[in-house]
């Protein structure tokens, strides 16, 4: 125990520290107020996993630089958009008008993103989209210099996957299935485009509604005569049930199942799926088990901080935060000039100097990220199911895909 | 032929699960006129409790027991502490109260078990698949039919052959008269409510391996259970069984023949039944 004198000394020291903190921060605040970053993510709703990953990833990146950039503090403000477009619009207004944020990071779903699109672009903020992946947002008509996206578009992965399947497997006649909502249809369409352009044939399309509990009725319709394999873009809880029931009904042995994107067998869901997921091939821009020194260090630090492996959603959030930090640094903290800030973010993002867990960052002329496409396969390693890299397709930008990018 | 048989089996399996859920709901509505929107939460919470017990003990039977008992007790508490009170006498108040519970329990589940969807592992002995010619049936699904049939037989025996069953039926038909001849109707109601909740809890665990557990499932499953009760007629166990099998089969065939219209076919069936028999197939009032 400390003596009386010791106690007094401790109190004196405490007061001193307190004074320093108060005056210090007051001085700091008087000179340069903190830069505010609003995280508009659906922490609740049916996709909390995506929100948590992006949120943790972004905070992880801000913590790496001590929540400070360009001589100013970075303050993170979180708002829950509940995966609901109306709520997202209300919350983004609050972030912009009450909190006066400089950056918006979010949202998770494309529906939310399209709902807040007009409002955010009218406001004086930089918008970085971590998860919503509808191709429209960065299309030539909708792209905007103040808007960036760190996830792939619905086409950048699914489209090359169609070509890869034609080239590397002997599956020629494929049945496609997806959830009956925007992301499901967009993804299936992209896969179909890639696959049929390469000469493959789609035998049937099946779209169960989102939140289908029992896939048994759909499975017998998927089982088409003459089919070589089944492509599924079914994610979340639906994906777990789909993969499990696909095996239960004995289809997996006869009719291989694969994903147009890793969304079918996202790493956080694998432990729930169990061995039914073994051997499923899909495609990802960031397999968390990627064996590069940069990613090994990231995954280790992230895991020890949050108690779980990073997911691709963490990578999207992390990259968004890195772009923000890069932009602030380039502007030396003067982020108030938004159109110059946007140009600087674009410049640093394409400079090849920002390293992300998935590799060196690059964006195209529409501020859409250019990704590396890896082909992954679910394998068991040390008793744990993981997506292991089996092939690399290489860099894919949205202009390498179809729709309005198609040169044919 | 194989298609019809496969879909029939699927429909019956799903119907049995819905029966477990709807049996409780229909008794609550029939005996007490209680609109229990928290029934979906009972299902989900029962499943989550079962999941945790299964993780801990690796015993599916214990998981079922835990899910069923915990929700049975929760049901009893809900009835005694909330629904029996004076402020909950009106239907609107009940709807609001139980809807509030639905939201609270849903959030508590998300808080405790997280937002990740979960699936209860199937018991070791019920894994695998049976091949009957061109028909493929997972063993576990057959087991669900058996469990449903056992519960059905038990409920039928209880209601038709025992004195207590007669008391419950008396309560359904005329609560005042039953009270008049010395039956403690308040106790009967509490026990019926608790038993209904218990069945929902059991359904949560039984459905866990193939329906899974996730945020929002409480509302989805509640909607289906309500459709079953409406089709079958409030308060009728036979109605709950027929309604559940009907919905199970319509769901199964509807999804495989007209996948894009799968929700429509379910509600179309409800509308048709209501148009022909406004009180449901086996409803009395």
The tokens for B105 are: 């329990």
Give CA separation, A317 vs A69, A174, A406, B43, in Å: 17, 34, 30, 35
B284 in any annotated domain:
no
Q: How confident is the model at residue B2 (pLDDT cuts 50, 70, 90)?
A: confident
Chain CA centroid to CA B170, Å: 23
Q: What value does the mean pLDDT take over residues B257-280?
A: 85
B41 in any annotated domain:
yes
Domain boundaries, chain A: 34-152+291-369, 155-284+372-405
The tokens for B241 are: 């069984």
Element at B237 (helix H, strand E): helix B237-257
Q: Chain B contacts of A268, Cβ < 8 Å?
A: 116
| A-contacting residues in B 138-167 (Cβ below 8 Å) | 138, 140-141
Average pLDDT, chain B: 89
pLDDT at A235: 87
Contacts of A302 (CB under 8 A, 6+ apart): A56, A57, A60, A309, A310, A314
Q: Give percent of chain B above pLDDT 90.
A: 48
The larger pLDDT score, comparing residue A43 to residue B73, is at B73
pLDDT at A187: 94
User: pLDDT digits over A166-180, tens only?
Assistant: 999 999 999 999 998
Q: Chain B contacts of A269, Cβ < 8 Å?
A: 116-117
- For domain A155-284+372-405, give its CATH number from 3.40.50.1220, 1.10.150.570, 3.40.50.2300, 1.20.1250.20: 3.40.50.2300
**Is B75 within 8 Å of B42 (Cβ atoms)?**
yes
Considering only CB atoms, B211 lies closest to which of A49, A213, A217, namely A213
| A-contacting residues in B 90-109 (Cβ below 8 Å) | 107
Q: Nearest-CA neighbor of A72 among A348, A334, A330, A338?
A: A334
**Is A387 within 8 Å of A377 (Cβ atoms)?**
yes
**Is A166 within 8 Å of A143 (Cβ atoms)?**
no
Segment-wise mean pLDDT, segments of 10 residues, chain A, 408 residues: 60 60 50 91 80 95 95 95 92 96 94 95 96 91 95 94 95 95 92 95 91 83 92 89 90 93 91 92 94 94 94 96 96 93 96 93 95 95 93 93 70
Q: Nearest-CA neighbor of B6 among B262, B257, B244?
A: B257
Query: How many angstroms separate the most distant Cα atoms in chain A?
Result: 89
pLDDT at A10: 65
Q: How confident is the model at residue B164 (pLDDT cuts 50, 70, 90)?
A: confident
User: pLDDT digits over A108-122, tens only?
Assistant: 999 899 999 999 999
Q: Nearest-CA neighbor of A70 among A335, A319, A322, A321?
A: A335
Cis previous bond, A293, omega within 30: no
Q: Which domain holds residue B253?
A: 2-276
**B131 inside 8 A of chain A by CB:** yes
**Is A10 within 8 Å of A4 (Cβ atoms)?**
no
Q: Chain A contacts of B107, Cβ < 8 Å?
A: 44
**What CA–CA distance (Å, rounded) separates B93 from B37?**
12
pLDDT at B237: 86
Q: What value does the mean pLDDT take over residues B127-152?
A: 88
Considering only CB atoms, B215 lies closest to which of A46, A212, A272, namely A46
The tokens for B240 are: 């709950």
Q: Do A221 and B263 touch (CB under 8 A)?
A: no
pTM attached to this predicted model:
0.80
**Is A202 within 8 Å of A192 (Cβ atoms)?**
yes
Q: Nearest-CA neighbor of B222 among B22, B81, B69, B32?
A: B22
B93 in any annotated domain:
yes
pLDDT at B285: 55
B285 in any annotated domain:
no
Q: Do B262 and A48 touch (CB under 8 A)?
A: no
**What CA–CA distance (Å, rounded) separates B102 from B219?**
8
Contacts of B280 (CB under 8 A, 6+ apart): B229, B230, B231, B232, B233, B234, B236, B239, B243, B273, B274
Q: Give percent of chain B above pLDDT 70.
A: 99
User: pLDDT digits over B215-253, tens only?
Assistant: 888 998 999 999 999 999 887 888 999 999 999 999 889
Three-class secondary structure assignment of A121-177:
HHCCCEEEECCCCCHHHHCCCCCCCCEEECCCCHHHHHHHHHHHHHHHCCCCEEEEE
Residue with tokens 């034609």: A166
Q: Is residue B123 predicted with pLDDT exceeding 80?
A: yes
**What CA–CA distance (Å, rounded) separates A287 from A267?**
8
- For domain A34-152+291-369, give its CATH number from 3.40.50.2300, 3.40.50.720, 3.90.650.10, 3.90.1150.10: 3.40.50.2300
SS3 call for B282: coil
B281 in any annotated domain:
no
Complex ipTM tops 0.90? no
A4 burial class (0-12, 13-18, 19+ CB within 10 angstroms)? Answer: exposed
Nearest residue of A to residue B55 by CA position?
A: A272
**Is A119 within 8 Å of A142 (Cβ atoms)?**
no
**What CA–CA distance (Å, rounded) separates A401 from B4?**
42
Question: In the beta sheet, which residues pair with residue A283?
Answer: A375
Domain count across chain B: 1
Strands (E), A269-398: 281-284, 355-356, 359-360, 371-381, 384-396
Q: Do A216 and B251 touch (CB under 8 A)?
A: no
pLDDT at A11: 66
pLDDT at B184: 87
Look up the CATH number of the domain holding residue B99: 1.10.3470
**What CA–CA distance (Å, rounded) separates A356 from A298?**
9
pLDDT at A29: 47
> b/e per residue, A13-30, with b = 16+ CB within 10 A?
eeeeeeeeeeeeeeeeee
Q: Chain A contacts of B133, Cβ < 8 Å?
A: none
| B-contacting residues in A 161-180 (Cβ below 8 Å) | 180
Contacts of B86 (CB under 8 A, 6+ apart): none
Nearest residue of B to residue A52 by CA position?
A: B115
**What CA–CA distance (Å, rounded) separates A62 from B261?**
47
State the best of A220, A225, A234, A274 to mutate against chain B, taking most chain B CBs within 10 Å.
A220
pLDDT at B168: 82
**What CA–CA distance (Å, rounded) separates A125 from A101?**
7
**B110 inside 8 A of chain A by CB:** yes
pLDDT at A209: 83
Fold agreement between A34-152+291-369 and A155-284+372-405: yes
pLDDT at A7: 67
Q: DSSP letter at B120?
A: P
């Amino acid at each position: 125990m400390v003596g009386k004198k010791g106690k007094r000394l401790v109190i004196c020291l405490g007061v001193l520290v307190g004074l320093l903190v108060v005056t210090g921060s007051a001085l700091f605040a008087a000179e340069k107020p903190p830069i505010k970053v609003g995280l508009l993510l659906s922490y609740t709703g049916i996709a909390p996993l995506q929100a948590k990953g992006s949120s943790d990833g972004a905070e992880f990146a801000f913590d790496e630089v001590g929540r400070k950039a360009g001589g100013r503090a970075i303050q993170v403000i979180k708002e829950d958009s509940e995966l609901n477009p109306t709520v997202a619009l209300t919350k983004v207004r609050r972030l912009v008008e009450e909190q006066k944020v400089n950056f918006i990071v979010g949202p998770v779903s494309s529906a939310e993103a399209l709902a807040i699109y007009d409002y955010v672009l009218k406001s004086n903020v930089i918008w970085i989209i971590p998860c919503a992946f509808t191709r429209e947002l960065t299309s030539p008509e909708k792209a905007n210099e103040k808007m960036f996206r760190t996830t792939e578009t619905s086409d950048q992965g699914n489209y090359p996957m169609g070509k890869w399947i034609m080239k590397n497997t002997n599956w020629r006649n494929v049945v496609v299935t997806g959830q009956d909502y925007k992301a499901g249809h967009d993804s299936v369409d992209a896969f179909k485009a890639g696959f049929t352009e390469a000469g493959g044939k789609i035998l049937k399309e099946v779209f169960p509604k989102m939140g289908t509990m029992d896939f048994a009725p759909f499975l017998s319709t998927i089982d088409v005569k003459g089919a070589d394999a089944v492509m599924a873009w079914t994610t979340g809880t639906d994906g777990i049930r789909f993969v499990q029931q696909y095996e239960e009904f004995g289809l997996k042995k006869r009719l291989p199942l694969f994903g147009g994107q890793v969304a079918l067998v996202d790493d956080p869901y694998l432990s729930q799926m169990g061995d039914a997921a073994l051997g499923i091939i899909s495609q990802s821009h960031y397999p968390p088990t990627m064996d590069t020194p940069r990613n090994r260090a990231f995954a280790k630090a992230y895991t020890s901080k949050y108690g779980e492996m990073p997911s691709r959603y963490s990578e999207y959030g992390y990259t968004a935060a890195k772009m923000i930090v890069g932009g602030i640094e380039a502007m030396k903290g003067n982020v108030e000039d938004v159109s110059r800030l946007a140009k600087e973010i674009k410049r640093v993002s394409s400079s090849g100097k920002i390293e992300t867990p998935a590799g060196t960052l690059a964006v195209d002329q529409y501020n859409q990220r250019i990704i590396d496409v890896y082909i992954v396969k679910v394998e068991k390693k040390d008793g744990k199911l993981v997506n292991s890299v089996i092939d690399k397709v290489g860099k894919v930008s949205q202009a390498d895909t179809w729709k309005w990018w198609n040169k044919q | 032929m194989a298609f019809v048989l496969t879909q029939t089996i699927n429909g019956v399996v799903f119907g049995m699960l819905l029966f477990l859920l709807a049996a409780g709901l229909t008794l609550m509505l029939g005996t007490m006129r209680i609109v229990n929107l928290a029934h979906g939460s009972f299902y989900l919470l029962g499943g989550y409790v079962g999941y945790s017990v299964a993780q801990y003990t690796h015993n599916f039977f214990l998981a079922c027991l835990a899910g069923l008992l915990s929700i049975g007790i929760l049901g009893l508490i809900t009835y005694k502490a909330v629904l029996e009170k004076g402020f909950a006498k009106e239907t609107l108040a009940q709807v609001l109260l139980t809807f509030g519970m639905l939201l609270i329990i849903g959030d508590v589940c998300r808080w405790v078990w997280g937002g990740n969807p979960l699936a209860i592992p199937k018991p070791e002995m019920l894994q695998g698949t049976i091949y009957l010619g061109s028909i493929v049936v997972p063993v576990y699904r057959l087991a669900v039919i058996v469990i449903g049939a056992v519960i059905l037989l038990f409920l039928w025996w209880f209601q038709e052959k025992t004195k207590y069953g007669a008391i419950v039926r008396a309560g359904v038909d005329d609560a005042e008269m039953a009270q008049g001849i010395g039956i403690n109707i308040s106790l009967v109601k509490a026990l019926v409510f608790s038993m209904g909740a218990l069945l929902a809890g059991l359904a949560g665990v039984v459905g866990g391996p193939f329906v899974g557990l996730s945020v929002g499932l409480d509302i989805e499953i509640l909607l289906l259970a309500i459709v079953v009760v409406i089709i079958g007629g409030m308060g009728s166990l036979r109605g709950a069984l027929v309604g559940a099998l009907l919905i199970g089969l319509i769901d199964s065939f509807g999804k495989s023949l007209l996948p894009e219209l799968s929700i429509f076919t379910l509600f179309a069936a409800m509308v048709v039944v209501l148009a022909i028999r406004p009180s449901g197939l086996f409803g009395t009032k």
